[in-house]
């Protein structure tokens, strides 16, 4: 029997409106923090940080200690899943992720032979360590990448501006693309269930490149596989809250909510606030959507923007966050100013 009081984050995800919204920031553990840069240098590489439960737990907790955010997010990466599926993954310094591309059936069969799900076994241990150290009132979020976004990296072997390699593959060989999606779905369900069993309260499904798909492809490659993940998680953990973040999906988000069954939705920076309030927040709690550039710039513009967001969304279930990850050169003083403004 747990005596933990329900964190504000979880109350909002359950549909409550709070006078002061809970606040956390995407990529809140990261390079803008000197204490992160120090541990990252000690670990040698980003991936060794992800796979070391002691260091990953410490990095997860750093922004909680410094700022007292209302939620912690597990320190890991969406690309650990393709790595567990047997794909080679490395991070080229200053260039972002690299993978050996999977663009034909032979390559898919090859990665199938070296699948190494055990790589993900260190993650639940990280979750247990964070859970044990986290203040009672702080929510704890696990995550995975949505199949579409993960597939864009698997197929191209890197981030691409327009996701053209993945789009070309699903046009040319939809059965192969479906096979890739199916592997991601199965692995992600197991991965999220392991995170929840180890102690996260909620999970977020990051679909960073959802906005690259037209309506038909969005239903097939974004909504349908996300629905399978939601169902697979709920079958094991009916109580777990699920946040979907179909970045750039705009006017398709109401379809996404109906089609996937997520409990809440993350809003990107560019979304129209009136639309978001009337067509999205009327259906589910929302999270977002401050521009990371405005946070980096700081000053009066930051306070004006925070106020405008609170005016638009603050009287209904709302979680304050950015519309995308915090930029590495964001001054810490601006994060402090943001928190002060949100919390009054
Ligand atoms: C597309 C994507 C990735 N990873 C992620 C996404 C979806 C969200 C988004 O659109 O940003 C998600 C992610 N990545 C990371 C987290 C940890 C939790 C948190 O939000 O603090 C989360 C939730 C750590 C990370 N993931 C990465 C870092 C930087 C690594 C370093 O220390 O050098 C961190 C802290 C690396 C990463 N990982 C990825 C990229 C494109 C990059 C390089 C870009 C960059 O360097 O910022 C893939």
CA of 175 to the centre of ligand 1 (A): 29
On whether residue 61 sits in a domain, the answer given is yes
The CATH number of residue 129's host domain is 3.20.20.210
Residue 232, in any domain of the structure: yes
Domain-located, residue 1? no
pLDDT at position 12, please?
Answer: 98
**Can you give the pTM of this predicted structure?**
0.96
Q: Is residue 3 part of a domain?
A: no
Domain annotation covers residue 152: yes
Chunked in runs of 10, what are the mean pLDDT values of the chain (344 residues)? 76 98 97 97 93 97 98 98 94 90 86 80 97 97 98 97 96 95 96 97 98 98 98 97 98 98 98 98 98 98 98 98 98 98 95
Number of domains present in the structure of the chain? 1
What pLDDT was estimated at residue 242? Answer: 98
Q: What integer pLDDT is reported at residue 42 of this predicted model?
A: 92
Assess whether the C-beta atom of 79 lies below 6 angstroms from ligand 1.
Answer: yes
Q: Which atom of ligand 1 is nearest to the CA of 204?
A: 23
Q: Which of 59, 75, 78 maximizes ligand 1 atoms within 8 Å of its Cβ, making it the mutation to test the pocket?
A: 78
Q: Where are the beta strands (DSSP E) in the chain?
A: 71-73, 89-92, 96-99, 139-145, 202-207, 241-246, 264-266, 286-290, 318-322
What pLDDT shows up at residue 114?
Answer: 77
pLDDT of residue 104: 86
Tell me whether residue 182 is one of the annotated catalytic residues. Answer: no
pLDDT score, position 144:
98
- Is residue 2 assigned to a domain? no
**pLDDT 10s digits, 6-51:** 999 999 999 999 999 999 999 999 999 999 999 999 999 999 999 9
Distance of CA 191 to the CA centre of its chain: 14
User: For residue 3, what pLDDT is reported?
Assistant: 45
Establish whether 77 is an annotated binding residue.
yes
ipTM confidence:
0.95
**Structural domain span for residue 111:** 8-343
Report the pLDDT value the prediction gives residue 4, as an integer from 0 to 100. 59
Residue 158 is among the residues annotated as catalytic for this protein: no
Show contacts of 61-65: CB within 8 Å, 24+ apart. Answer: 61/130, 61/133, 61/134, 62/29, 62/33, 62/35, 62/36, 63/25, 63/28, 63/29, 63/33, 64/134, 64/135, 64/138
């Amino acid at each position: 029997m747990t005596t933990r009081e329900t964190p504000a984050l979880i109350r909002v995800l359950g549909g409550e409106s709070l006078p002061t919204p809970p606040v956390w920031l995407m990529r809140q553990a990261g390079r803008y923090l000197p204490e992160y840069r120090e541990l990252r240098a000690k670990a040698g590489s980003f991936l060794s940080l992800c796979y070391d439960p002691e260091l990953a737990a410490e990095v997860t907790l750093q922004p909680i200690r410094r700022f007292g955010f209302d939620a912690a997010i597990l320190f890991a990466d969406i690309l650990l899943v393709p790595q567990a599926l047997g794909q080679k993954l490395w991070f080229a310094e200053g260039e972002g992720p690299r993978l050996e591309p999977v663009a034909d059936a032979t390559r898919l069969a090859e990665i199938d032979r070296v699948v190494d799900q055990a790589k993900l076994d260190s993650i639940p241990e990280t979750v247990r360590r964070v859970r044990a150290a986290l203040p009672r009132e702080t929510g704890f979020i696990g995550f995975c990448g949505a199949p579409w976004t993960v597939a864009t990296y698997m197929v191209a072997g890197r981030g691409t501006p327009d996701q053209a390699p993945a789009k070309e593959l699903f046009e040319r060989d939809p059965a192969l693309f479906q096979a890739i999606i199916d592997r991601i779905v199965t692995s992600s369900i197991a991965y999220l269930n392991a995170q929840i069993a180890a102690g996260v309260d909620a999970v977020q499904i990051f679909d960073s490149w959802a906005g690259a798909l037209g309506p038909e492809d969005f239903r097939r490659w974004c909504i349908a596989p996300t629905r399978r993940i939601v169902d697979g998680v709920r079958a094991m953990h009916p109580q777990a809250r699920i946040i979907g973040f179909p970045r750039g999906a705009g006017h398709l988000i109401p379809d996404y909510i109906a089609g996937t069954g997520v409990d809440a939705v993350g809003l990107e920076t560019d979304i129209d606030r009136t639309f978001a309030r009337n067509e999205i927040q009327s259906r589910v709690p929302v999270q977002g959507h401050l521009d990371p550039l405005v946070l980096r710039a700081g000053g009066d513009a930051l306070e004006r923007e925070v106020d405008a967001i609170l005016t638009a969304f603050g009287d209904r279930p709302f979680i304050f966050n950015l519309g995308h990850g915090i930029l590495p050169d964001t001054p810490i003083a601006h994060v402090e100013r943001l928190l002060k403004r949100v919390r009054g």
